[in-house]
Chains A and B, each alone.
Chain A
């Protein structure tokens, strides 16, 4: 139990750091944000693998009607949905491709912020959701493929991020592809990327290889409530307004009806504002 609380606490702290990094002088520091996102991922994995059914708090009144999740702690088949990984083959959810959304990007911008954001999202979502998200995330990440090198951006990137809902059609962006992000970048085996990523999947040592169960989508609402009111304002806003509101709005009800999103699926409706909020980072 305490592992879960500890993991939860670390996730909150990490998200706070990512948030604060937006306003740091000198722009977003790629290295630090990468490390924070790795911690976020580890904490998420521990959070999910620690079987503790009693932890999930009752959702607030407005919790969207989502089928109660599988018991937490059920083992997952396949490797954990990683950052940019293809969805786990055993993922039961078969999300339709999110509808194409025009992405307002002045430029690829905030590459690191996006990637970090992707992991932040992973941290709060179920595996099934993550399966879908990895398809969704990649396109956003794929946006960076087309662009010239851009420094991870500060507030400006955050703005453009909040405007664009995360569910961008991957097909528009090409290179990274859908569901096979890795194939799009066939790097020679000796680059640092493949090896560390493989390691990451094989990790964590500590017996969690089997433990990366699929996340249940119903947890999302619970997780949102767990993370507390500081993110509540984000849930209420449409993607376009998300950013402006997030600083002003604290302490609202967590489960307020999410704003406009691109996908009809009720679960996605829950998740999109959440991820939009994080995207706003």
Chain B
């Protein structure tokens, strides 16, 4: 499988795992989003308890540069708290739905984090010096008796242990009636969009008291509702273009130059349904759970329940590539409907060169598809392979019939172990894979 360097097969190795070891998972620890920043130096996770944990990659040690630096905890903070909307008698979950990093402009880092209703802009800054030598204060902060001060000195900055502080700089609230599913920062780095089930709003990062509604698919009569917005993203290069996906498996590309309200799409991407695959659950499994532009901006990738599709923005009537993630589940849809697994929202991601795409599955499996070689691989995120630099063994699921050695039968898959969130370092072959409450980091062996 070609990596960012091209040509050679990547061998993925275990690098690190973060999180509690016990099988008994506290609900608050369930990871709900994973995102690298633009340089890949920082890796942020959000969880159901409303916390954000940021890991920082150690600077490479030039002498022993066997592998790229490890990720260690850099900052942890409580981003969102549970709230109660008294007017509507509704509890608002603190779960972090998405984190998106802003590109770095100065020494501080900025990220947007959102729960169902409120988006917050956080500033993460380092403090590694502090003033010492005050005249009126002791070093521990106690005030000195002014009468004992006989000389004056100028306080100076002295180094201190690094302290990383996170502070909320903006709070963007009260703009969404429904649950926010996406945020996306515009390539102008001044505006961003937030999308809920029926509406998309455009914000300016500096302005919290208003936002512009740019898409509204709420019908006048809610009984006529047939689809909802499931994900939205700005184009990586064109600041006027964004896409949003729907529960019906369509993607609409909108151009904000065309009109203020982008209810009319500029392009509609839809693949006709295969009638032979029709079942009770056809509609559910065609619902798109994630949409991601390629870094180049030429393609976009969508994830529905069973497959990953790559679309060329210039061709609306069908995807250019389709990859089956776990087709063996097609015959199990009824059971998956009963246990609610069919509603799981898997995300997907591109590698830095747009040559490989990755997405998660069940049993803590995750899948990668190489677009050039058309090869795919299934790997498992498990503590069993947790020696650093252990090459991960490819896994295989046996759909039916004779199970070969080392294969796993569909019926023995653990549907509680799902990988919904994955992220790929923007430049290197380093991936972050979130199981229920653990974060795995894998790197390629060759360096």
Contacts and interface: CB of A to CB of B under 8 A. Distances in A.
Interface of A: 6-7, 10, 13, 17, 25-27, 29-32, 34-35, 38-39, 42-43, 46, 83-84, 107, 109, 111-112, 114-115, 118, 137-138, 140-142, 144-145, 149-156, 175-176, 181-182, 184-185, 187-188, 190-193, 196-197, 200, 204-206
B330 interface: no
Contacts of B422: none
Contacts of A191: 217, 263-264
Given A10-B280, A39-B337, A83 B93 contact: no
A7 B283 CA distance: 16
B412 to A, nearest CB: 24
Q: Top 8 closest A-B pairs, CB basis? A: A141-B223, A185-B220, A84-B223, A156-B89, A26-B93, A149-B177, A111-B222, A196-B226
A29 B198 CA distance: 12
A84 B220 CA distance: 12
Given A111-B222, A191-B217, A196 B227 contact: yes
A138 B221 CA distance: 8
Given A35-B343, A190-B264, A109 B88 contact: yes
Nearest to B85: A151
Interface residues of B, number: 50
A177 to B, nearest CB: 9
B200 to A, nearest CB: 13
Contacts, number: 159
B284 A184 contact: no
A204 B95 CA distance: 37
Interface of B: 85, 88-93, 95, 116, 177-179, 181, 197-198, 217-228, 230, 246-248, 250, 252, 263-265, 273, 275, 278, 280-284, 287, 334, 337-338, 340, 343
A205 B287 contact: no
Contact of B217 (A26, A42, A138, A193): A193
A193 B224 contact: yes
B284 A114 contact: no
A25 B91 contact: yes
Contacts of A155: 89
A145 B220 contact: yes
Given A150-B177, A151-B88, A151-B178, A175 B220 contact: yes
Contacts of A193: 217, 219, 224-227
Contacts of B281: 39
B91 A27 contact: yes
A38 to B, nearest CB: 5
